[in-house]
Structure 1
């Protein structure tokens, strides 16, 4: 790999900087222009139409915080990831629904994805938002950070197992050298958002990125960022790539409160044109108001995370018992208003690698009691710490009722998501955590999904205190063997077999997969497709006028 200076790259930054579950405490400095005290388009109920009736300023509401890390190599923030797809480009990017790759900064997809060297030429005339040209040095710089063995980044887990190095071949060309043939890696290149070396190679620049500074080569440039409030964008005039900006300006508001979020898209003159994370109870009223409301069913799920370093959760029988005890059909009726499915594998049923797992944890309180008895556990009391995501909170009473019914005294402890993950990051003691997750933010292939939650030195494995166990080591070996298998059918069978290992151990495991709802005003927007994972993608949207 080419020699690259990484500045003050962190060796293992706090998860506070990794995820959208958590927030940066302060706004970035005024290196961003036009940082306003509030979103400008909120003064216009019509969204700021132009003289021809087209929508000039789009107002969107995201039901997640904008104060998590914005560093593309670190973030799992729903808000930041969605925004970064509009600000940055990968060599290849992917369609937000099909996840099929297309050439973004690169001129084409390599013709032979089964090869162990992929060659890319950068798009002629591609420039950063500050006007400087995009070069091969920027590409090498970005991948050097991702693959650096002394730097822990979130996306490293999606690349390190198969990508050996990235080399500059000339000023505008690079080659990726793979450890073995891995065609599934092509869609993952959208996760390696290419970042300008002259900006992020400076000391302290990665901290700036985490706090919200975003300078890319994509169709929109960031013009303002106020954590816990809003982020603003405008069309980048010099963008010459495949998916051009359709709106002159965008204001994305972060509104975590469900009622306030719905109010923005309600009524005759809504203050926003599109809102994600719509509560199920509000669908009918929004449709009556003339809004389009569609759902995306994917891997979004409520999961349970166990502290396997604490008795009795180190006993797999206890973990299994608590899953068997949950009446998931009741949870779907009461908490999700029918918009969900019981989890029958770590993967959702629509995933190409899905097979019903063994075991599948169909509701069986008798078996749950027997497993607890076999483990010698009586009088168990659980404090169930959980995130305060609205639909998760709606599901918690079913968990409590189910566990109470088998003699496990349960106390519900919902908290701000930031508080939950700060405690986990600080290695505070806990018993069980209920949270919401969706690895499909990153992609669809099973190996990628698994590496988000299960992998050596993985952040989540650290939370579970499980990666050193013999079962974990066996799982990691099976994952590695499946990744290296060239035959697609055999790889799928091997994947399904190790997913059974995950199901047997239920260290981090879904309870239900639910549907995510998005609402928009069809009088203003066209080309919207509801995503089955948090956030929105407006790269193919346009004004309805």
Structure 2
């Protein structure tokens, strides 16, 4: 009798386990690891990629949005009409959209958001996206009209950026710590230094996502990242910081490795107004001191595409200009001598936390030292980098990956942190903005890439690869990154 009871218990346990296994596909939560923690959660007032990684499309939405293939599709605007002269956009908004606090999202909120972004005192990191807007008018609660001073072929593209999401006036005071958007997920919790939790919005106006909960965990150390993934403590590491470990994950059936491209031009940013970098010959010398492939191989274990200008190689208009700044230490020394620095000089190299910066910085410092440039490495946290480098412009050199899509227009902003001021380039960008013919735009983009390469504005290193690791059962992940985001709407577990 005892044995019968035991066998019955074992059978019941087996049945229970089978049921649990059969229902494994119903898992509706996910843990996503990130290397950087956002400084706050307002994408309309900071340049930190980590903000969009959490909130883009998940919490906040714009009039248009990026899809995983880079295409632009309707967002909060269900449709739009463009005037014959290309200067007036009339957006028809989706009906029944509410913010997470229950208030209705309407044309007044769109007007508020766009006017706030383009205001004189705007803190928007991409304020230039809105510079061409001359008026935003409410036609009716579901219709808003945006007037441009001149046609802009990029306008719908610009409205898809995280910096252009729609926010409500009543939520602005606490938006950095309690974001209130219209997206499929609501903000639930932020444990500083540990995690941010999002929960499915039951009142979402669009299609309900499969996942009920997403936890974003912050793991800055590459060794800890590897340990957490191998222990299956996290489900996805969207941009895995230790590429040398990817072959091990590829060989393990528990995981999948997703290698794609990003919009991240990784550059040795140079302070063009700080001596001696205000001398073209010095900037050119820096460019020739750099061995891009050695950096890609040494810091990224081969993941990354060398670039010679600030433009993504996968874009149809890309021009390969790597030969203009080929590795040539002797030429670098000659240029330094010509500029009056035969014995070299000292400068600073500020490195934010990402592996491409910290690892790449060590290699670059060694390469610069070979031509007489002594770069003092200063490791900074992301918030420090934003404050001292990006805002304060207190640096000589720094390494950062610009992940905003097709952002060559930043070189037309003299007050941007690397402080490149070329009226000819600014005029070229104005012409590009008013040009709609595809062939002519490609020609102008080629001229723009060439101009900044010839001015050696920055040291152009490589296009950042997207190296994601996930458990085998996760599906719907972006392979490529058309913008900096971990978009949850299509993510689910395999049934």
Size of the alignment, in residue pairs? 469
Q: Which residue of 2 aligns with 1:275?
A: 237
Change (3 A) 1:271 1:315: same
How far apart are 1:507 and its partner, in Å? 2.7
The corresponding residue for 2:374 is 409
- Please name the residue that 1:455 is paired with: 412
Contact 2:185–2:200 at 8 Å: present in 1 too? yes
Query: Does structure 2 conserve the Cα–Cα contact (< 8 Å) formed by 1:122 and 1:135?
Result: yes
Does the aligned pair in 2 maintain the 1:92–1:190 contact within 8 Å? yes
- Unaligned ranges ≥5, structure 2: 1-19
Q: Distance in 1 between matches of 2:393 and 2:129?
A: 27
1:196 aligns with 2:168: yes
Preserved CA contact (<8 Å) 1:59 1:250: yes
Q: Are residues 244 and 99 of structure 1, via their aligned partners in 2, closer, same or farther at CA, if it must alter by over 3 Å?
A: farther
Residue 10 of structure 2 is matched in structure 1 by none
TM-score where L is the length of structure 1: 0.80
Structure 2 CA distance for aligned equivalents of residues 497 and 379 of structure 1: 35
Match of residue 235 from structure 1 = 200
3-state DSSP class of the match of 1:331?
Answer: helix
Confirm or deny: 8 A CA contact 1:316 1:506 kept in the other structure: yes
* Distance (Å, rounded) in 2 between the aligned partners of 1:114 and 1:263: 57
Contact 1:50–1:56 under 8 Å retained in 2: no
Matched position secondary structure for 1:360 = helix
Q: Do structure 1's residue 159 and structure 2's residue 159 form an aligned pair?
A: no
Match of 2:112 among 123, 128, 141: 141
Change (3 A) 1:50 1:127: farther
Partner of residue 145 from structure 2, selected from 163, 171, 175 = 175
Describe the superposition over 1:278-310 as per-residue Cα deviations: whole angstroms up to 9, x where unpaired.
121111222233211112223424322223333
Alpha-carbon distance in structure 2 between the residues aligned to 1:369 and 1:195? 52
| SS class of match (2:160) | helix
Distance in 1, Cα, partners of 2:142 & 2:181: 17
Task: Give the distance between the partners of 1:199 and 1:409, measured in 2 at CA.
Answer: 48
Query: Are the counterparts in 2 of residues 63 and 276 from structure 1 also a CA contact under 8 Å?
Result: no
2: distance between equivalents of 1:307 and 1:408? 15
Compute the displacement of 1:51 (Å).
Answer: 5.0
Aligned with residue 465 of structure 2, among 515, 518, 526:
515
Corresponding position of 1:36:
none
Query: Partner of 1:529 in structure 2?
Result: 478
TM-score scaled by length of structure 2: 0.88
Q: Who is 2:175 aligned against? A: 209
CA distance in 1, matches of 2:395, 2:157: 36
> What is the distance in 2 between the residues matched to 1:187 and 1:485?
14
2:256 to 292, 296, 300: 292
What is the Cα deviation at residue 424 of structure 1? 2.6
1:520 is paired with a residue of what secondary structure? strand
Q: CA RMSD in A?
A: 2.4
Separation (CA, whole Å) in 2 of partners of 1:492 and 1:256: 39
Q: Is the 8 A contact 2:345 2:373 kept in 1?
A: yes
Judged with a 3 Å threshold, the aligned counterparts in structure 2 of structure 1 residues 216 and 284 are, in CA distance, closer, same or farther, namely same
In structure 2, the residue corresponding to 1:393 is in which secondary structure?
A: helix
**What are the residue-to-residue correspondences of 1:218-233 with 2, within 5 Å?**
218-233=183-198
1:11-410 → structure 2 map (5 Å cutoff) = 53-66=25-38, 68-84=39-55, 85-95=57-67, 97-110=68-81, 115-160=86-131, 162-191=132-161, 192-200=164-172, 205=173, 208-210=174-176, 212-241=177-206, 243-267=207-231, 270-278=232-240, 279-289=242-252, 290-357=254-321, 360-382=324-346, 383-410=348-375
Contact 1:167 1:174 in 2 (8 A): yes
CA contact (8 A) 2:244 2:300 kept: no
Is residue 62–residue 255 contact of structure 1 (8 Å, CA) maintained in 2?
yes
Cα deviation for residue 218 of structure 1 reads: 0.9
Spell out structure 1 runs of 4+ moving beyond 4 A.
48-52, 111-114
Distance 2:246 2:37 in 1: 22
In 1, are the aligned partners of 2:243 and 2:300 still within 8 Å (CA)? yes
Alignment partners' CA distance in 1, 2:322 and 2:461: 15
Matches of 2:160 and 2:312, distance apart in 1: 22
Higher Rg = 2
- 1:455-505 alpha-carbon deviations (Å, 9 max, x no partner): 3354xx2x33443xxxx2221111112221232212221221122221122
- C-alpha separation in 2, matches of 1:198 and 1:50: 46
Residue 49 of structure 1 and its aligned partner are, at CA, apart by 9.6
How far residue 336 of structure 1 moved from its aligned partner, in angstroms, is 1.6
Match of 1:40 in 2: none
CA distance in 1, matches of 2:135, 2:21: 48
Seen in structure 2, the aligned counterparts of structure 1 residues 117 and 324 have a Cα distance that, compared at 3 Å, is: same
For the structure 1 residues 119 and 421, does the alpha-carbon distance in structure 2 shift closer, same or farther, using more than 3 Å as the test?
closer
